[in-house]
Amino acid sequence: MAHEVLIVGVNHHTAPVEVRERLALGDSGTFEQFLRELVEIPGVHEAVALSTCNRVEVVTCCDGGPGLANELGMRLLRRGGIDPGEGRNYLFELRGREAVRHVFRVASSLDSLVVGEPQILGQMKAQFAKSAAAHAAGPILHRVFHKGFSVAKRVRTETGVASRAVSVASVAVDLASKIFESLDNRTVMLIGAGEIGEAAARSFMSAGAVSVMVANRTFETAVELARAFNGTPIPLDRMRMYLPLADLVVGSAGGGQLLDRNDVRALMKERKNRPVFFIDLAVPRNFDPGINDVDNAYLYDIDDLDAVVSENLGERKREAIRGEAIVEQEVDRFWRWMEQLDAVPTIVELRDLAERIRREEVERTLPRLNGLSEHDREAIEAMTKAILNKLLHHPTAVLKEDRSSEEHVALLAALRELFRLGGER
C-alpha cells in the first residue's frame, strides 16, 4: 500500500510501568522534537505520538519499506535510555487495517486499562493537535484520527460502555444519589486520612456537596487535608459533636470501630430523622454493621462497594462487545477509503496515457484536414475528449467500487499490466 499506517510502541499490554515511564514524552519541547525526528526518517511521511500513563505509541503514515518498524522502535527505546536488546521484547507493531483498528479502539476506550474511562479521548485529541502543530501529522493521519474521534463518540452514544461507575469513589456517589434527591448543599465528614476516603470526599464535592469536615487522630493531618477542601479540621475525639451536621460520613481511619448502632440512634434524634449516608472504607471497619438497622441510616462497607464495582465492570465489558462491533464496521468503511487512495495513482497514470495518445493523434490528423475552421477544430477536440472520458468512466468506477482487498489488488495489477503503466511503452 502506498500510504501504509504503521504503529510501533509499548502499552500496558506489552510493558510494565517502569518501562513506560522511561519512554514517556513529557514536556512539549521533548514531544515536538521527537516528532520532528520521526518525520525526518526516510519513508516516514507523517507521524503522531501518543504518550499517556498506559501507552507510548508512534502512529505513522509511511511507504511501508523494510526496516522502518525496527528503526521507529529503536528510536523510541534509545530516547528512553533502554537497551535495544532488552527493550525490543516490550515493543509491538501493527500495520494497515490492524493499525487503523487500534487507533479506533484506543479512542473509544476499548483498549484502556479500565474500559470506558473518559480521559483517553481528550488526551488523544490534545496530542494529535500537538502533532499537527509540529507539522508532523498530514492528511492521512488527520483522516485516521478524526475518524477515530467520531467512532469514539458513536461507541459512547450507542453503548453503555461508559455509563456505570467503576471506582469505589464514583460508586459511593451513585449510591448516595439514590438516597438523597440531590447532593447539592450536603455536608461531608471524612474520618481518617486514607486515600480512598479522600477520593470519595472529592467525588461528593464534585457532585454538589458544599462543605467537608475532616476528623483525624493527628490533628495536623486533619488541618492539612481540610485545607485541600477549604474545609474544617476536627480532632477525632470531638467527632461526635460535629456528626449531626454531616449528611455523608466517610470512614477511613485505622484502629477499628468508631461508631455503633446506639451512637447512630442518638444521632438520628439530633438530626430529627433526616437521612445520613455512611461509607466504611476502613479495615478493620469503623462503623458497626448494625447501623443499617437504624431507620434512615444507610451503611455501605468496602465489600459492598467492591461488589458494585465488579458488577459494573462486568456490564461495561458486555457493552464493550457492542462497541467492538461498531469499531469493526467503521474500520471496514475506512479501509475502503484507504484502498481507493491506492487506486488514485493508477487512475491518474491511465488518464495521462489516454490523454497523451488522444493529443498525439489529434495533432497528427488535423493538418491533413483542409478547410477546417477554428470552430471545427474545437469541436474535434471536444469530441475526442468526450470519447476518452466515456471509455475511461467504467474502469475508473470499477477501481472505486467496494471490493475485498485481494480483488482490489488484482484489479490494479491487471490494469497496470494491460496498459503497461509505470513501465516502458
b/e string for 318-331 if b means 16 or more Cβ within 10 A?
ebbeebbebbeebb
pLDDT at 2: 60
The class (CATH top level) of 4-158 is alpha beta
pLDDT category at 424 given cuts 50, 70, 90 is very low
pLDDT at 74: 95
- Helix spans in 134-260 (H): 139-158, 168-179, 195-206, 219-229, 239-242
* Each residue's pLDDT tens digit, 384-400: 999 999 999 888 888 77
Using CB atoms within 10 A of its CB, is residue 314 exposed (0-12), middle (13-18) or buried (19+)? exposed
DSSP state letter for 291: G
pLDDT at 402: 63
**What is the pLDDT of the chain when averaged over all its residues?**
91
Q: 13, 17, 42, 53: which one is catalytic?
A: 53
Average pLDDT over residues 305-327: 93
**What cell numbers appear for 14 in the block?**
506489552
* 62 carries an active-site annotation: no
Q: What homologous superfamily does CATH list for 168-303? A: NAD(P)-binding Rossmann-like Domain (3.40.50.720)
pLDDT category at 423 given cuts 50, 70, 90 is low
pLDDT category at 345 given cuts 50, 70, 90 is confident
Q: Find the radius of gyration of the CA atoms of the chain.
A: 32
